[in-house]
Structure 1
Amino acid sequence: MSFASAYMESIGMSTPFRMKALCAALAALVVPQAYAQELTGAASAAVPAAAAAAAAADVATSGAQASAMAAVVVTAQRRSERLQDVPVAITALSGDAVLRSDQIHTANDITQFIPNASASATDGRSRPRWFLRGIGTNETAASSVSPIGIYNDDVFLNNVYIQAFPLFDTERVEVLRGPQGTLWGKNTTGGAINFISRKPAFDTDGYAKAGIGSFGEKIVQGAIGGAAIDDRLALRLSVYNEDRDGWVDNIVTGTKTGAVSDSAVRGQALFKVDSDLDVLFSVRTRKADGDVNPSFFVKGPRQVVVNPLYLGAQRGAGAISAAGTGTEEIKSNGVSATVNWELGTGLQRYSLTSITSRDTGKRLNLSTATFALPTSAGYQYTDSRQVTQELRLASPKAEALSWIVGAHYFDEALDNNSVTRNNRIANASQSSASGSSAGSWNQEHYWQDTRSAALFGSVNYDVTDKFTVIGGLRRSSERKDYTLDFQQSTNTGSGPANSATFDDAVPYYLPGAVANGLNPLQTSSQSATWRNTTWDFTTQYKFDRNVNSYARVSHGFRAGGFVVDQPTASTRTIKRLDPETLDALELGLKTQWLDGRLTFNTAVFHYKYENKIEAVLLPSTTSASGTRQVQENAADGRSRGVEVELAWLPSSNARLSGSFGYLDTRYTNYASTASGQTLDATGNRFSRAPRFSGTLDGEYGFPLDSGAVIALGTDWSYRTRQFFNAVDQSEPTLWQDAYALGNARLVYKSADGRFELAAVVRNVTDKVYAILATGSATGNTATRQVYGLPRSYGATFTARF
């Protein structure tokens, strides 16, 4: 008899109970070990109930009688609950909505259908900039942590470079707005987004979807699953592949830029030990490569561009003039085990959940000058490996008093190596029309280890059958150890005698490429531990099944961190960032009318932000380019607003959905000194926080005599002016004015609902709009802008079985 078996028997565990415990323990332990061995060898829904509207989309494409929308079940509070009953601001998109939409390709695309939300991926298929209700970050360093928690099947993904993963074979997406400092794995100030894959089932089912479009776009995805062993083992395999050519002409190289290639595979196995215990294993891999988004350079009225070489293509141009462009390669792998165990008998059944995961992400970014001459080249390699473990125990929900307690652990090892080579080229100076660019080489290599642990709990008490109070508490501790190596060429000037020279026989990102010497290696390190207690308190009153109101106050916390600082041109130091906190008040109302055919939800909120971590490009009097990128604690601010979400089935053949967001953000105290001068940003609005935003989505189906349906649909999104820089909000090239984007579709659906053929037009008005602007009004280069895709066309065929 093993020691474990003997111990279990000694404390009274029966043999069946021991078997279940051993299965659960094995699932929790085998994942990291197995993975270590491996390493060594849409737009259909834009509503509150976006998922409800998506379920109702079938009404418009089937000719069925208009009826109540299907009830949407979510797990936002770590229990399966009807969305309309959850006292939290949450938007859900169903898997059918994601599959039907031709605008949703990657995870960040879903925010175009969420009020007060955005997540532009400004550098290709990596590092989306997540924002909810004005809370987010423009910082793209791998060492930073977003205030929006991104989860894939309940697994927190810390590495920003792997968060724009493809969406395929999805069950639903849940978007929670506001501080998530109680039940969710990693404490965040702005919200949490959970992408939930379709799980294996014992009935055989699957789908296949193929699409073609403008710029040589080709997308194929599909899944198949079913029972491998009756009532014991179910399997599911899901695949995705996307290829798209470049969409912008580079008149220097004679090629197109903006190409994408992205492929992913996910395999799952559901093992039912018995009726009380099941274990879900998931293995996933992804590889993406392509161009970094093309950059356009725009001169503003306050900017002085001394050398025309640094202007490049103008706003709205279909071409760029660049000596080269950036390319990136992303590889990610993950494996997880989720154990669900029902304990107890009768009504006293408790749910024990264990989620164990290991994920890795690697990104290689190579870049050359974005100007007409090869003034520079860049290299960045990032490697992250994370392990997470979560345990939760939930009491029976049927009781008047119910609770959930749990623990979460996160451990990440991050390695980031960045190299920049600047070439000396005559007449290529930023500050002089006849001067030369400086020749230099430098390397910043840092390692960051992060360990986070938390204990949490939440209690629900039904005071009456209509009135409920909910309280949650979480104690978090996070430690970071950061080490930085910096090395620079001995010569860093623009003149022949003090400029670095290179051996082109050696790759430019290796120290051996510097032919005339390197300065001694600079090494520094720092460590810090941050602890905080976060909480929430909610009162909920249900007038009846169709009208639910709530009031919620909460306190969120985002741990501090470290970033590379540049006090002088020849030194790099480690800068420490303090934690930020956010206190939130929210009032919400969720309603359904007209026998369930109309859903109307609304929420008002007020946030008080303290010690906000901000990332900006600031004017600098010491930098040759006139700008300096910094990350700092930006003192205090507030965000307040209103959200409205609507889904309506006006007839048996039509549906309409939409959302509206109002956002008022301000820095109440922000004096920035990080660039070497004092800049007062008090009163400025948060970046990427338009005052008004909205979506509208409609579809009408025309039933045919055969039982098939032809449907016409369109969806639109609108945003007012948004600023890309929190400090400089007077330069027009650093903001995007109000704009609307529209898409149109024509759909044929077979009578049995198994086949669907669609033709789509995206960005029907061919709107030119910026998704990023970096630069300074006082700099001597133009503002770099990145644009969204122009008008494009596509066709898709979907088969379900």
Structure 2
Amino acid sequence: MKKAALALSIQAALLASLSFNANAQENAQEQDDAKLEKITVTALKRTQSIQDVPVSIATMSGERFENTFSSGDDILSLAARVPGLYAESSNGRVAPRFYMRGLGNSDFDLAASQPVSIIMDDVVMENVVLKSFPLFDIDQVEVIRGPQGSLFGRNTTAGIIKFTSRKPTSDFDAYVKAGMGSFGLVNLEGAVGGQIAEDLNARLSVLDQSKDDWIDNAFTGEKDALGGHDESAFRIQLAYNPTEDLDILFNYHDRSLEGTSSVMRANILTTGSNELNANYDRDKVFYDDGDNNPQEYDQDGWSLNVNYDLGAYMLTSITAMENADGRSKGDIDGGYICAEGQMNSFCTADNRNGPGFIPFGAITEDRLNDLEQFTQEIRIASNGNDQLTWQTGLFYFDSSFGVESVDGFYGATEVFHENTTWAVFGQSTYAVNDDLTIIGGLRYTYDEKSISVGKQNEDGFAVVIGAASIQEYAPIDVDDGQWSWEAMANYTIDNNMSVYARLSNGFRAQSIQGRDVAFEGYPSVAEAETIMSYEAGFKTDLLDNTLRLNGAVFHYVIDDIQLTAVGGNGNNVGLTNAGKGVGTGFEIDSEYRVNENLTVTAGFSFNDTELQDKNLLISTCGSGACTPTDPLNDDGAAYVDGNPFPNAPKTIFTATARYSMPIADEGELFIYSDYSHQGDTNLFIYETEEYKTDGQFELGLRIGYVHYDLDLEVAIFGRNITDEDNLKAGIDFNNNTGIVNEPMSWGIEVKKNFF
């Protein structure tokens, strides 16, 4: 409570500056530099003002984006930084899991599908590893809430996160950014762009980042054994404009990561409590296996975006290829079991395992082998601002990869996944009059998936001793064709305010899960889920364009909602469908330019989600160490009817404030703070006393100096500056294992721009 009070006090101190500027507001509004900047988005695959798009959208860019990632954090840092958006992972810096308006997927397998789609530079990143490409030289992030089934297709039932990199221009520009911080953080980033030949522009963006290992393995006595990472990436873009009618953009990107997968901590929750206990030590783990949880991945890809102006129409083609492979290994039980005859400071006659009770050891290595994803989109759109505008197109997707699971007892097993999708879509906009616009979109998608088993229990000790045998698995093929659509209406009340209504329908394609094959189980299949969403909202600029206030209310119903039952006695991963899932809530985003020196933002979301299926049973913790609060059947499985969706924060509150003080005419001192608060969150499908969180928050701070003439910024940054210990994920099959957030970190960063 003291830390929470401190965090709120710091934020309140910044916000309190509002009162000192009330008398000067009228004069400040008369100056352009005291007004909010116009934000453009591409949520409807056209460049439009965010205030004109009848969809709930939040954006992140500039200082807010850079400060969020200043300490070397990965894409998971977006969690709870935008109302309605959450993210977590049990797979380190790869395989992030996103949730929007409460809807997501807790499946940790490398073949998992998700209802939040990640779009990077107009290319869908379908596999969970592709979604983790590092973020650098980013122009803008768009968080587009709600189903996006007509323009973007299946697996967008919750929404979309679009990342747009800075593009090449004919004007020379460059920047270099260098940061150093806690735990040996070194963060180097830069870009250079401009014209390199007639009609040819280029931009090269690079990232090189490292962080030292800082967590001790107390069981082996290794100091600084895990927790760090080394990551490098680059992106090169070539923009060719041979005529006024033709634009060609080529994008090649590459990434290499070596580091630590998720840090599992055994028994950091006491049975009957969700408070971190004395077994928890942020700087220490007790691993007897897992090689200190290593992780390494390589990823590369390219895209070719061609726009050809045909006069009345614009023809667009986007061709892309993505590749990835790598591995993660982990001591899943998070603790140790002393071998027969082993004696050390932990292994004594009275202490055979720890911390806490570990019934059996568990070590797993997951490998993504030879991922290849090819996508092709072709669309044609009307040009101009006629009363009726439209766009229509075709989309093709093909993906193949292997997922290899290596278990310390069963050995190595590999399953192969293939997925092919094609779609035809269209959307039109009709301006009824100067005030009323209606939009309609329709899409047909055909999706086909297959899974087959390759090697099975290779070199497995279980097979040698007869505890397991080679099984027969026939290939599984599933396919489905679905229509999805949306209808929107936007009404302009005046130049500064509009209201909208939106009906949207979408679906998440059928899924196949094959991880249980590694443990002599069978693949599971979930049928396609469909969503019907109802949304109404408003968008307004007030006080002479110094206050922006956007809000939306929503209600959605999902039929045959796909769920992933994770855990149980064998840490199995099984897909199932519940009868219905229902979500109701609202979100509001605001930005207030108090004067030219002070800007504050605030956002809030409320999500009330509920599973509706009176007959659905989910296995509870296999360890027996947790305390289910749901009704149980005779076999100990939980009836989950009425439960909230897993990892669906009921509330999210965000706030930022930036205050600057001019220094003569050549620069300014500034202080920037960001705060995020996460409300009630249930980590699993079933409810327990242990695996639920409430009131988790983080506070960031940035203090610096900007020299205008030199285009130079020097800043001190801090992330999680109150050093909150927040439970982010759990593993329930062996003991009460938990995964926590990153610790407090401080650093200094220098950025120099060149023009």
The alignment status of 1:640 with 2:605, answered yes or no, reads: no
What residue is the counterpart of 1:398 in the other structure? 385
What residue is the counterpart of 1:420 in the other structure? 407
Output the CA distance in 1 between the equivalents of 2:140 and 2:653: 22
What residue is the counterpart of 2:159 in the other structure? 191
What residue is the counterpart of 2:87 in the other structure? 119
Amino acid in the other structure paired with 1:547: M
Output the CA distance in 2 between the equivalents of 1:658 and 1:753: 32
Contact 1:607 1:640 in 2 (8 A): yes
What residue is the counterpart of 2:666 in the other structure? 707
Distance 1:299 1:269, change over 3 A: closer
What residue is the counterpart of 1:334 in the other structure? 301
- Deviation at 1:265? 0.7
Distance 1:211 1:461, change over 3 A: same
Contact 1:763 1:790 in 2 (8 A): yes
Output the CA distance in 2 between the equivalents of 1:559 and 1:475: 12
What residue is the counterpart of 1:695 in the other structure? 654
The alignment status of 1:442 with 2:411, answered yes or no, reads: yes
What residue is the counterpart of 2:728 in the other structure? 771
- Deviation at 1:721? 2.0
CA deviation profile, 1:66-98 (whole Å, cap 9, x unmatched): 422121111111111111111111112224542
- Deviation at 1:523? 3.4
Partner secondary structure for residue 576 of structure 1: strand
What residue is the counterpart of 1:720 in the other structure? 679
The alignment status of 1:559 with 2:545, answered yes or no, reads: no
- List alignment gaps of at least 5 residues for structure 1: 1-45, 47-58, 305-310, 423-440, 494-498, 502-515
Output the CA distance in 2 between the equivalents of 1:556 and 1:171: 29
What residue is the counterpart of 1:380 in the other structure? 366
What residue is the counterpart of 1:614 in the other structure? 563
Match of 2:283 among 308, 313, 318: 318
Contact 2:267 2:738 in 1 (8 A): yes
Amino acid in the other structure paired with 2:43: A
Amino acid in the other structure paired with 1:350: Y
Output the CA distance in 2 between the equivalents of 1:106 and 1:92: 18
Contact 1:448 1:480 in 2 (8 A): yes
Output the CA distance in 2 between the equivalents of 1:133 and 1:520: 43
What residue is the counterpart of 1:67 in the other structure? 34
The alignment status of 1:672 with 2:658, answered yes or no, reads: no
Distance 1:672 1:492, change over 3 A: farther
CA deviation profile, 1:38-91 (whole Å, cap 9, x unmatched): xxxxxxxx9xxxxxxxxxxxx9xxxx8742212111111111111111111111
- Deviation at 1:548? 1.3
What residue is the counterpart of 1:540 in the other structure? 490
Distance 1:663 1:581, change over 3 A: same
Output the CA distance in 1 between the equivalents of 2:458 and 2:309: 63
Partner secondary structure for residue 51 of structure 2: helix
- Deviation at 1:185? 5.2
Output the CA distance in 2 between the equivalents of 1:381 and 1:99: 32
What residue is the counterpart of 2:746 in the other structure? 793
Q: How many residues align?
A: 680
Match of 1:150 among 105, 118, 122: 118
What residue is the counterpart of 1:12 in the other structure? none
Output the CA distance in 2 between the equivalents of 1:138 and 1:686: 10
- Deviation at 1:250? 1.4
Partner secondary structure for residue 684 of structure 1: coil
What residue is the counterpart of 2:223 in the other structure? 255
Output the CA distance in 1 between the equivalents of 2:420 and 2:180: 44
Output the CA distance in 2 between the equivalents of 1:376 and 1:187: 33
Contact 2:411 2:457 in 1 (8 A): yes
What residue is the counterpart of 1:659 in the other structure? 603
- Deviation at 1:670? 5.3
Output the CA distance in 2 between the equivalents of 1:355 and 1:670: 45
CA deviation profile, 1:475-525 (whole Å, cap 9, x unmatched): 0000012102463489977xxxxx957xxxxxxxxxxxxxx9984463321
Distance 1:113 1:378, change over 3 A: closer
CA deviation profile, 1:242-296 (whole Å, cap 9, x unmatched): 1011232211232322111111011111011200101111111000110112111
Amino acid in the other structure paired with 1:700: Y
Amino acid in the other structure paired with 1:526: I
Distance 1:719 1:520, change over 3 A: closer
Q: How does the TM-score come out when normalised to structure 2?
A: 0.86
Partner secondary structure for residue 207 of structure 1: strand
Contact 2:468 2:520 in 1 (8 A): no
Amino acid in the other structure paired with 1:270: A
What residue is the counterpart of 2:184 in the other structure? 216
Which aligned pairs between 1:681-692 and structure 2 lie closer than 5 A? Answer: 681-692=640-651
What residue is the counterpart of 1:757 in the other structure? 714
Output the CA distance in 2 between the equivalents of 1:218 and 1:360: 27
Distance 1:271 1:774, change over 3 A: same
Partner secondary structure for residue 596 of structure 1: coil
Amino acid in the other structure paired with 1:655: T
Partner secondary structure for residue 402 of structure 2: strand
- Deviation at 1:702? 1.1
- Deviation at 1:144? 2.0
Distance 1:65 1:747, change over 3 A: farther
Partner secondary structure for residue 35 of structure 2: coil
Contact 2:611 2:645 in 1 (8 A): yes
Contact 1:105 1:166 in 2 (8 A): no
Distance 1:468 1:553, change over 3 A: same
CA deviation profile, 1:364-390 (whole Å, cap 9, x unmatched): 123346322484543322121010000
What residue is the counterpart of 1:177 in the other structure? 145
What residue is the counterpart of 1:572 in the other structure? 521
- Deviation at 1:161? 1.5
Contact 2:507 2:529 in 1 (8 A): yes
Match of 2:434 among 449, 461, 465: 465
Identity %: 29
What residue is the counterpart of 1:51 in the other structure? none
Which aligned pairs between 1:205-244 and structure 2 lie closer than 5 A? Answer: 205-230=173-198, 232-244=199-211
Distance 1:566 1:152, change over 3 A: closer
Amino acid in the other structure paired with 2:393: G
Which aligned pairs between 1:347-386 and structure 2 lie closer than 5 A? Answer: 349-368=312-331, 370-373=334-337, 375-383=361-369, 384-386=371-373
- Deviation at 1:706? 4.7
CA deviation profile, 1:688-739 (whole Å, cap 9, x unmatched): 1122210110111111125311111211111112111011x1222x122212
Partner secondary structure for residue 544 of structure 2: helix
Contact 1:485 1:522 in 2 (8 A): no
Output the CA distance in 2 between the equivalents of 1:522 and 1:401: 58
Distance 1:574 1:398, change over 3 A: same
Output the CA distance in 1 between the equivalents of 2:74 and 2:670: 25
Amino acid in the other structure paired with 1:767: E
Output the CA distance in 2 between the equivalents of 1:113 and 1:312: 28
Output the CA distance in 2 between the equivalents of 1:792 and 1:287: 24
Partner secondary structure for residue 183 of structure 2: helix
- List alignment gaps of at least 5 residues for structure 2: 1-10, 12-24, 26-30, 340-360, 620-634
Distance 1:680 1:343, change over 3 A: same
Match of 1:739 among 696, 719, 730: 696
RMSD: 2.5
Output the CA distance in 1 between the equivalents of 2:458 and 2:32: 74
Contact 2:262 2:330 in 1 (8 A): no
Output the CA distance in 2 between the equivalents of 1:252 and 1:484: 37
Contact 2:524 2:574 in 1 (8 A): no
Contact 1:354 1:391 in 2 (8 A): yes
The alignment status of 1:297 with 2:266, answered yes or no, reads: yes
Contact 2:711 2:752 in 1 (8 A): yes
Output the CA distance in 2 between the equivalents of 1:517 and 1:654: 67
What residue is the counterpart of 1:79 in the other structure? 46
What residue is the counterpart of 1:29 in the other structure? none
